Amino acid sequence: MSVAFASARPRGKGEVTQQTIQKMLDENHHLIQCIMDYQSKGKTAECTQYQQILHRNLVYLATIADSNQNMQSLLPAPPTQNMNLGPGGMTQSASNQSLHSQSNLSDAIGTGLPPSSLMQSQISNGPNHVSMQQSGQNTMPTTSLSMTVSSHGTGPGYSHTVPASQNVPMQGQGSIGNYVSRTNISMQSNPVSMMHQQAATSHYNSAQGGSQHYQGQSSIAMMSQSNQGNSMMGQRPMGPYRPSQQGSSQQYMGQEEYYSEQYSHGQGSSEPMNQQYYPDGHGDYAYQQSSYTEQSYDRSFEDSTQHYYEGGNSQYSQPQAGYQQGAAQQQTYSQQQYPNQQNYPGQQPGYGKAMRLKTQIHCHTRESNDSLFLCLGPSRLGLYTVDMLGSKILSSRTWALLDGLRQWRPAYSPHIQICLLQQQVKNWQRILSTSCAKCAKNQRLKQKTAISEKKLTRYFVDHRRVCVIGGCGGQGIYSFHSEPRKEFGGPDGGNGGDGGHVILKADQQIKSLASVLPFYRGFDGERGRSKNCYGANGGYTYIKVPVGTMVKEDGEIVADLAQHGKEYVAAYGGTGGKGNRFFLSNENRAPMTATLGESGQERVLHLELKTMAHAGLVGFPNAGKSSLLRAISNAKPAVAPYPFTTLNPHVGIVHYQDYEQVAVADVPGIIRGAHLNRGLGFAFLRHIEHCRFLLFVVDLSVSEPWIQLQDLKYELEQYEEGLSKRPHAVIGNKMDLPQSKANLLLLKERVEQRVIPLSALTGDNLEELLLHLRDLYDAYVNTEQSRRQNPVKW
């Protein structure tokens, strides 16, 4: 039977004839009968199969209707009877035609088939089903949709939308069971939304207004609801809408092919049909409905439905908004709908080809206070104005959408924003950024720098929280000496070994705390043995940390590992247990007692690395600190013409001929208000806490460079009192720039300290800096030696 049904629909690019249509109408009639038969017999599988076929036919008919303006000529002659079309009904001619076209089937349903209420009672699985009481009015079969749609794209044809639109409030009020036909495009989406709401609320109601005629489709909705697996059948995307200008049979056939393809997937597979279209279980659908409560249109679009948008899509989304808003919005909906539906804004030849896209795209529009959002994709991951995106990256399909939206809402035209999928955003940003060679080069440079910075950020860690537990002491045992011919050998159970300590050790090979793990446990001591054997002590666990690591516990500094090789026992191991030999006494010659080992010490410590260097470079971002360090040492910190290139400290070593080495640290730039956590804050200033002298780097190309100096000193003072008063020198960088000379004079006038003008870029006057650096270093060494302390050496 299914084969016969399938054969009724022309597969190839043949003509759609009246016979074909009639055959399909009959087939639908037959299908409905079969479905109801099977339902009454409880044969769900067969029922589902026929539902799918029926649905396919309906969509097919709708497709024909959309694509063929002369559809009415293909359909049977109008009936003589007049039917109640509900308030605001269709124009007489159209309604007559549509009614008549359904007459056979509707009569059959009205007489031969059980009334809808009966059908519902037979199949109702969910609560709140409201039976269709007026089955006599609900006699228009599904196929009537093809009649009314036939005038689609012409002015008069849209008079049909009035009754259809008046169904909307009813649906919005909860009467959402009717599967509204494609009498006009705007109605097409309503059943989709309805079905979703229905699924959510389990509320099923038959409409009694203009949608009453579509009993056949009501049946579908009911049937689909009766079967959970196919409950979304009514949500199958409608056939691609082709306005009359484009509705040639050629296009239709293309669409038909497309549908055939779709159906071959949908029906050929054993999966329920709804899975094909809503693979995510409507999750995104629910999301969209909750997100766009005011006026939203949510629907899973395959290619065909996208095409609706392309050819005057605005009116398609518009009634959805009207539907969502319910009766109160109905007036607005009707007003908005007509002009655009008649004119097909945005409809341009050539857009139709986009319909063959295989991706599943959700489209909806949303009005906010001042903007109209065109959202492509299931979620709003980015909002972009058209200008931002530029013409290159918008597909013709999107342009068509925009055109439609603009014509629909001219007032919103400048505010239309496009909402994209994240992947789209990425791709399009890439396209934008690499659109010209220069941009591409800059992009590559940035990426390279970012990667190197990322590496630094990843591998340089200057603080760690570490939990340390000493090893447990080994267990003491009890045993007694056993020897032939020696009856009372006495106790000989040995003690357990001590647990191992966990020790922090400064190692100058280690440059950051990245290698420090969050948890350390010392080795346990071994248990004692008989014959007075003591267990071995647990070995020490060393945690190597960089020189300059401060150890804090509960905010207090407990150790400062400022020299290479310096150790700090972070956690002591537990003492080993005693064997029974230990308890031997005159009173107790045969002690049975042995003790367990103690557990190790447990502490949570905070390690903070303070870079150890003799000199620290302090300056505003972009002052040229990193460039300077590169110029005077072998260090290679990143240099780039944007602020905060340096995110972690770098230490470079300046070598002198007498083999003295002076370590210079480059730290991130400081800005005004750093102590208020602006910029990178000043937490990184701990890295210059250990510096014995400072080098203030000032950009002389900037006007009033002395202000920079004042600000720097102020921020240092905010961080630690007296820090700015350490021995220091002022370096005026970028002397190669023309404006620097004048600024240097002004700076020297205002600053008491020695100012060393140089250019890190060209290397001018670096010698003066190196000599002065050595002077500072020598002074430091002398001070330390006078205090009988060892100066830090590298």
Ligand X SMILES: Nc1nc2c(ncn2[C@@H]2O[C@H](COP(=O)(O)OP(=O)(O)OP(=O)(O)O)[C@@H](O)[C@H]2O)c(=O)[nH]1
- The count of chain residues that interact with Mg ion, using the rule CB under 5 A, is 3
| Range in contact with Mg ion (rule: CB under 5 A) among 291-299, 535-543, 618-626, 734-742 | 618-626
CB of 669 to ligand X, least distance (A): 3
Among 325, 330, 645, 724, binds Mg ion (CB under 5 A): 645
Residue closer to Mg ion by CB (options 47, 623) is 623
Pair of tokens at residue 773: 């650096």
Q: Which two tokens stand for residue 138?
A: 């609900």
Compute φ and ψ for 600, nearest 5 degrees: -80, 165
Considering CB distances under 5 to 8 angstroms, the limit depending on partner class, which of ligand X, Mg ion, none binds residue 299?
Answer: none
Identified binder of Mg ion from the candidate list 165, 171, 646, 733, rule CB under 5 A: 646
CB of 750 to ligand X, least distance (A): 21
Q: Identify the residue whose tokens are 């295989």.
A: 358
3-class DSSP string for 41-107: HCCHHHHHHHHHHHHHHHHHHHHHHHHCCCHHHHCCCCCCCCCCCCCCCCCHHHHHHHHHHCHHHHH
Query: Measured from the CB of residue 551, what is the shortest distance to Mg ion in angstroms?
Result: 29
Closest separation between CB of residue 650 and Mg ion, Å? Answer: 8
> How remote is the C-alpha of 318 from its chain's centroid?
29
CB of 451 to Mg ion, least distance (A): 16
Under the binding rule (CB under 5 A), the answer on residue 733 touching Mg ion is no
Q: Which residues pair with 300 in a beta bridge?
A: 362
- Max CA distance (Å), the chain: 128
Tell the smallest beta-carbon distance from residue 733 to ligand X (Å).
Answer: 5
Q: Which whole-number Å values give the CA distances from 722 to 339, 727, 792, in the listed order?
A: 76, 11, 21
Whose Cβ is closer to ligand X: residue 58's or residue 760's? 760
Closest CB to ligand X among 462 and 492? 462
Query: In the complex, what is the shortest distance from the CB of residue 231 to ligand X, in angstroms, rounded to a whole number?
Result: 60
DSSP three-state, residue 306: helix
Length of the chain: 794
C-alpha to C-alpha distance for 148 and 185, rounded to whole angstroms: 10
- Residue 644 or 714 having the CB closest to ligand X: 644
Q: CB-wise, 239 or 649, nearer to Mg ion? A: 649
Query: Where do runs of H (alpha helix) occur along 344-412?
Result: 386-393, 396-408
Q: Which stretch binds Mg ion (CB under 5 A): 154-162, 255-263, 532-540, 625-633?
A: 625-633
- Identify the DSSP state of 618: E
Rounded alpha-carbon distances, angstroms, from residue 3 to 8, 38, 49, 233, 487: 9, 17, 11, 20, 101
* Contact partner at residue 100 from ligand X, Mg ion, none, CB < 5 to 8 Å by partner kind: none
Give the CA distances from residue 767 to residues 700, 733, 747, 780, in Å, rounded to whole numbers and listed in that order.
Answer: 18, 14, 21, 20
For residues 231 and 227, give the distance between their C-alpha atoms in angstroms, rounded to a whole number: 6
**CB closer to Mg ion, 148 vs 622:** 622
Q: How far is the CB of 348 from Mg ion (least distance, A)?
A: 53
Partner whose footprint covers residue 734, from Mg ion, ligand X, none (CB < 5 to 8 Å by kind)? ligand X
Handedness of CA 202, 205, 206, 208 (dihedral sign): negative
Q: What are phi and psi of 437, to 5 degrees?
A: -65, -40
**Do the beta carbons of residue 117 and residue 133 sit within 8 Å?**
yes
Which chain residues interact with ligand X by CB under 6 A? 619, 621-627, 639-641, 643-646, 668-669, 733-734, 736-737, 759-761
Given the complex with Mg ion, which of 103 and 626 has the nearer CB atom? 626
**Partner whose binding site includes residue 644, from Mg ion, ligand X, none (CB under 5 to 8 Å by kind):** ligand X
Of 537, 580, 622, 626, the one binding Mg ion by CB under 5 A: 626
Question: Which residue lies nearer to ligand X by CB, 86 or 668?
Answer: 668
CB atoms within 10 A of CB 657: 5
Binding partner selected for residue 624 from ligand X, Mg ion, none, CB under the kind-specific 5 to 8 Å limit: ligand X
Binds 48: which of ligand X, Mg ion, none (CB < 5-8 Å by kind): none
Q: Which residues bind Mg ion (CB under 5 A)?
A: 626, 645-646
